[in-house]
Structure 1
Amino acid sequence: MGEPIAVDHTARSVRVCAVDELAPGAVTKVNTLPAIAVFNVDGEFFATSDLCSHDNSSLSDEGYIENGEVECGWHMAKFCIKSGVVTAPPAKTPLRKFDVRVEGREVYVQVPEGILIRG
């Protein structure tokens, strides 16, 4: 169903939230264009594109998170949060991944050139 898309290492660091502001099993949307979703999976943080690759539904707003996967609320495509790989159709294209790091108690996502960081 497709290999994960490589992470772009020429990126800018953007603060997402404090570690304790994103509970395990939760997701938040980063104010970028296109949007980035940051997930807490059992205390580890991962970031992917926010839009389902099948039909552009917001995974942070309309997705369901379970067992390390996010399911699109529109057509039930599923993706591995850690890798972005498609785990259930109808999606065929993996989600783009972004590097995430924790510094102290703050979560940051690396936003590559070409993605607009909003206000």
Structure 2
Amino acid sequence: MNKDSTVAERIFACEVGDLDDGDTMMVETGGEPVALYRVDGRFYATSDTCTHEKWSLGEEGDLDGFEITCTLHNARFDVRDGRALCFPATANLTRYSTIVEDGKVYVAPAEAAR
């Protein structure tokens, strides 16, 4: 739910009501699959594919609080910044800013996870 200078470059992801709290979804933004998460009413977005194996986090991941677990080999990531939290994942996910405006969720260009 961040607003920043990248608003002009945002891409529509979904309606706010399309994603319940604690749920995930995969959306296409500019040809790239992005995992969208809703935690405590806020929206977060990362690259959709687990960095360990080619597996969709938005469609197949298990969200628990701010952690998304890849159900293929149990790699975990923080949805707030994309950090890999445990083996077998060693590379971070790409993080995207989210913007909520007029009942719509937008994803802004990627940011490198710290």
For Structure 1 versus Structure 2, the TM-score category normalised by the shorter chain is 0.7 to 0.9
Q: 1:11 to 1:69 in 2, by over 3 A?
A: farther
Identity of aligned residues (%): 35
Residues 24-81 of structure 1 deviation map (CA, whole Å, 9 limit, x = unaligned) = 1111211243311111011000110000000111101111000211000110000001
Within 5 Å, which residues of 2 pair with 1:40-119?
40-111=38-109
- Tell me the residue number matched to 2:20: 23
**2:19 aligned partner, one-letter code:** L
For 1:76 and 1:66, locate their aligned partners in 2 and report how far apart those are by CA, in whole Å: 13
The whole-number CA distance in structure 1 between the counterparts of 2:7 and 2:16 is 24
Equivalent position of 2:9 in the other structure: 12
Cα distance, 1:12 vs structure 2: 2.7
Shift of 1:21: 1.5
Separation of aligned partners in 1, 2:10 and 2:26: 15
What is the identity, as a one-letter code, of the residue corresponding to 1:12? Answer: E
* Offset, 1:11: 7.4
**In 2, Cα distance between the equivalents of 1:12 and 1:37?**
18
How far, CA to CA, are the matches of 1:99 and 1:46 in structure 2?
7
RCO comparison, higher one (Cα < 8 Å, 6+): 1
Structure 2 residue ranges without an equivalent (≥5): 1-5
**Aligned partners of 1:11 and 1:111 also within 8 Å:** no
Instruction: Answer yes or no: is the 8 Å Cα contact 1:28–1:39 preserved in 2.
Output: yes
Cα RMSD after superposing both structures: 1.7
* TM-score normalised to structure 2 length: 0.83
Aligned length: 104
